Amino acid sequence: MRSTNIKPVWISCLVLLVIMANSSCRKFLDREVESNYKEDEVFVNYDRMQQAGFGVYAFLYNRFGFQRIDNAMLASACDEADHAIPSSAIQKYNTGTWTATSNPEDCWSFFYQGIRRANLFLENSENYKQIIYRDTLDPANKSSYEANVKDIAWLRAEVRLLRALYYFELIKRYGGVPLVDKSTYTDDELKQFKRKTFDECTEFIKAECDSVYPQLKDTWVGFSSEKWRGRITQAVALALKARLLLYAASPLNNPSNDVAKWIAAAKAAHDVIALGKYGLHNSYSGLFRLGNGADGNTEVIFAIQGWARNDFERMNYPVGYSQGGQGSTCPSQNLVDAYEMKATGMAIGEPGSGYDPANPYAGRDPRLGMSILTNNTSFKGRPVESWVGGLDGLGKLNATTTGYYLRKFVDEGLDLEKNTSSVHTWVLFRYAEILLDYAEAMNEAYGPETASGYSMTAKAAVDQVRQRPGVNMPLLPPGLSKEEMREHIRNERRVELAFEEHRFFDVRRWKIAEQTENLPLMAMQITKTPEGTFKYLVRKAEDRVFQPKMYWYPIPEPEVLKSEGNLTQSPGW
């Protein structure tokens, strides 16, 4: 159950801000049909105007993180994991049975509703100084008026950046999309909407990030009261721009490998680094259990504020615990194999790495144990029994299909029998990603060990991530080629950002999904011997399907049909 004392303020505005519509509109710009206030009753004073702005934040919820796709994580739609419940809609991605009328993550209309909400707020708050002044005619309220003016100015900039973020979430899934600049359109106008190119959309989003940057607040930590927690800051504009330009420079969107795009991406990521206010948290496992304190941690640039809950634990605790876990997200052997050896920094398949197949989890990158529950790991007072016939192994309902359970994000301390809960906050931008964005762009632009006037090389940025306290992986070897460094960077992203909704899109933007997603998803079959030891056998969990058209999502078929041919479908769909 959500805890009312820790909600960010905009959650309480969700019902308030559903605005009536009175003109016709296509589905991708649909207006909601119930409201507490008519449109002309919202933008009449500071409080309602502020709530209208906060309402644009509402579109962050249910489209990022945790078990948002039919109780599954997006990780289960790529080579990171399997979902233990075969009837979940997430499986359509793995079987190749999703279509333009049946997409498990059909977020076209959702994000356009967020964009419309942003446009509506920006249009109706343009004269905010005059509108809210009508509430503050009393000279005694001058200081309050001045504070309110500042707040709406900040909020207008935040809403513009949220609109830019929603456009980015669209283009990373669908490619170029229509850019809509007002909240209301006639039927005839809507029929004329066409896709912009990916580059045109990128330029628009980048321009918005640049434009609003000086208008945003530098930090909300310690400001005023708890209700301001989690609002957008200047650094979020820089982080979004860095991620945007990295995608724009990547092979899927940059087939000619225009190096200028990599240079721009490197600069954008370095702009975040150069702020000098962010760093790596001293505990990788603790980073994801920060609750709503995330905005006071130097690694977190922006987090979607959470609430007290335990549904994630009910879905992801191993099945054999008395508290009733369902083992939903089952990390793959493919991912487990990506974690290197701690002593040598080498991949497990390299000669001399030190890997022991009979003891496969010993001496590995510490992030493996912090992210994934492996067999015989202590959890909630007993070892996890992932072996066949064990309390958490095959033969039990919804038991792991891969031999592994999820540990990252999971709060081990909850007592589900007593229905205890804790705050779960989804980190959308963090400093480690920025370092890896920077490393990737720098390597492609200048090579592994050339700083080209910046504060660090690509290698140094990766090494910084690897050297986090508590992880302390060996430095990458010197003298790597650009191609060798590229593979190291891609693997580092895979393990550092596991289950954070990067891998699904990374393999697409790198245009390697035809290789990674057509490989079988692998599992570990574990048997316990009479002597109490374990035998480990890597086996196939399932075959998966990826077709070239799946680099992009299909636009919902009804939208294409309603456009009378102006809105073109994604290639191959």
pLDDT band at 142 (very low <50, low <70, confident <90, very high): confident
Beta partners for residue 539, in sequence order: 523
pLDDT digits over 262-298, tens only?
A: 999 999 999 999 999 999 999 999 998 876 666 678 9
Output the average pLDDT for the chain. Answer: 90
Mean pLDDT throughout 409-425? 93
- Residue 16, pLDDT score: 36
Kind plus residue range of the DSSP H or E element containing 562: helix 557-562
Mean pLDDT throughout 496-516? 98
Strands (E) in 493-572, as ranges, are: 521-528, 534-542
pLDDT higher for 229 or 435?
435
Mean pLDDT throughout 22-39? 42
CATH class of residue range 1-63+107-208: mainly alpha
Strands (E) in 355-404, as ranges, are: 372-373, 378-379, 382-383
Helix axes 482-496, 431-446, angle to 10 degrees: 170
Mean pLDDT throughout 81-89? 94
pLDDT digits over 209-220, tens only?
A: 999 999 999 988
- Counting residues of the chain whose pLDDT is more than 90, the rounded percentage is 78
Alpha-helix residue ranges (DSSP H) falling in 250-339: 259-273, 284-287, 311-316, 333-336
DSSP-assigned letters across all residues of 106-122: --HHHHHHHHHHHHHHH
- Interacting residues of 256 by C-beta distance below 8 A, sequence separation 6+: none
Mean pLDDT throughout 384-405? 94
Decide if pLDDT at 11 tops 50.
no
Decide if pLDDT at 221 tops 80.
no
Which CATH number is associated with domain 217-304+424-511?
A: 1.25.40.900
Tokens of 53: 């702005």
Decide if pLDDT at 7 tops 70.
no
Alpha-carbon distance 103 to 93, whole Å? 8
Pairing of strands 405-406, 372-373: antiparallel
Domain boundaries, the chain: 1-63+107-208, 74-105+311-420+519-543, 217-304+424-511
Alpha-carbon distance 292 to 8, whole Å? 9
Alpha-carbon distance 226 to 229, whole Å? 5
pLDDT band at 476 (very low <50, low <70, confident <90, very high): very high
> Closest Cα partner for 235 from 299, 190, 191, 171?
299
Kind plus residue range of the DSSP H or E element containing 361: none
The answer to whether 35 and 19 have CB atoms below 8 angstroms apart is yes
Fold agreement (1-63+107-208, 217-304+424-511): yes
Query: Any idea what DSSP says for residue 570?
Result: P
Alpha-carbon distance 573 to 570, whole Å? 6
- Residue 21, pLDDT score: 31
State if pTM tops 0.85.
yes
pLDDT higher for 86 or 327?
86
Number of neighbours of residue 278 by Cβ within 10 angstroms = 20
pLDDT band at 432 (very low <50, low <70, confident <90, very high): very high
